[in-house]
Structure 1
Amino acid sequence: MEVKIAGVSLYYIINWFFIYSFLGWVWESCYVSAKAKKIINRGFINGPLCTIYGFGAISVYLILKDFDENILILYFGGVIVATVLEYITGWLMEAIFHTRWWDYSKKPFNLQGYICLGSSIAWGAFTVLLFYVFQPFVEWITGLYPVSVGKVGISIVSVLYAVDFGSSAVTAFNLSKAFGKVEDMLEDLSGYLHTTKLYETKEEVREKLDELRVINASELAERIAEKKAEFSSQLEKKQLQLPETYEGMRAELEKRMDEFKEKYITIRKETNPVRKRMIQAYPGLKTEFRHHLERKSGKRHEKRISK
């Protein structure tokens, strides 16, 4: 008995999923490579597939296929459906891996950094293209080979995809742990800096140290040097208030900054090829470990107040 979803054979849905995932990988890899001016294999898994594009395209198509003759409904429906999918995907990946894979926080009209207005507008345009250009194209491709051949092909690809996805998930968990170590070091460093009274609040200290949360080790060295100069300048301004402890505080500050850099570089050296590819694929990748701690500490604070 043939399995169907929303009136479409599961066989074709799986075929289209892999084709759209591949097309999404081509688009993402070319776009990111052009921006970085070097070849980058984009995507969560190592193979040439971007799962979010495959899943998103199939979901949008199945939900909106009955409105394929109304371009306005397709556009605004695409804006809504694709935006909701992007938000849920971003939230789930952060909840599972404690790592944020993209961040629209600096873009206008964003929601928690997961989605933004500009991206949503683009999803609407992509949805129209999906129905009038891409869907006819992928249907043409799946019509080029017999169903018997297609079933064998998607079985092989599905097994390879599952293995790749599993290994990538393990790598992502390990990457989250590595980023967690960096966050712990930043927390220790911010705790010390807060005791020096260089800044009014601990939040202000963390804001300064957030600039050290970078992927590239050479860039870290440059930022460490910049922060040393900035913190030393702040200390000099307070030198008249604490003449007896100024030199000791400055030496301790530089020592802690150097220790942070050495530990960070050590963690980076432990990066295997798969993890390195993942970091290169998502240059804006960052851990949300600190935010989880803040939420927990906030809840503990609320409990104390309620008591």
Structure 2
Amino acid sequence: MNNRIYTEEEVAQLIKRAVELEAERSISKEGSRTGLNLTDLEQIASEAGIDPELIKRAANELDSISSRTTYNAEANIKHSEIVFEEWITIKPDPAIFEDLITELNHRYGTSDKEITWWDKLWDDYNGKAKSRKTATSCEWEYTDEWGYFTTRALFQLKNDTLRVRISKRQLWDMKWEDNVHYLYILLPVFVVSAVIGGVLTGSFFDNPWLGISGGAFITAVSYPILYFFSKRSLQKHTREVKETASELLDLITRFVADSKNSTDNRKESFNQKSKLIDIEYISDDKASDNESNPLRNKLRES
């Protein structure tokens, strides 16, 4: 059995099983080893006939995958605002702000470069995005073409954490779950339907109260319909905030992981190119002896 030759597949299975046994022994406290660092793994791979460079590459890929946390954003409704806010322990390069603005502009089909001096003069940014960046923060704001909904995004660096805040508001900061604003719609409906109904029933039946009662009935029926569509609209905008926040968080972690891997690869490439070249040192005494040898030989010949 000791002289058996194992195939590459069997070697992989053996190493995998050995790692499982090591983990089981660590959990059962039979051994003192709690894990292996990259140097240990490279040494084991070298002894097993595996290129240590492949172990390092696999470790980089594993770190990249583990750092890409999938976020399930939850948005809260606070009076007149649907808001998502999260502090994540990550420190990206501030240059990522430009990528985030590009992603938001692409998602909402807009651009801050479409703003003209006329828009600035009248402070009219409907259908266009505004952005403002500092050394440690970035703000983005977009109002739809009708001027009814405004979406804002804030990214703020503080120490080793990044604040991500996505929010959405209605026109005049109306409350999302307030039923009072229904009166602004139902009251005109009641007045118009009651007047028209009263005139028609008064003309044909000599009883205007029938038309007024019909207007009141139409108004009463309109309330649950408006309530239903209002709830659907709230769910739609809440889902939009959640999806935007989740995609941005995933994008941030992906950018940071890719940047880290790129930096590690550059360092590795630099280390490989920075090999020491041994140069034989020749002392001055030896050099002088070598230079004097031809003269000494000539003296001997003479």
Q: TM-score range by the shorter chain?
A: under 0.3
TM-score (structure 1 length as normaliser): 0.22
Comparing both chains, which one has the higher relative contact order based on Cα–Cα distances under 8 Å and sequence gaps of 6 or more?
1
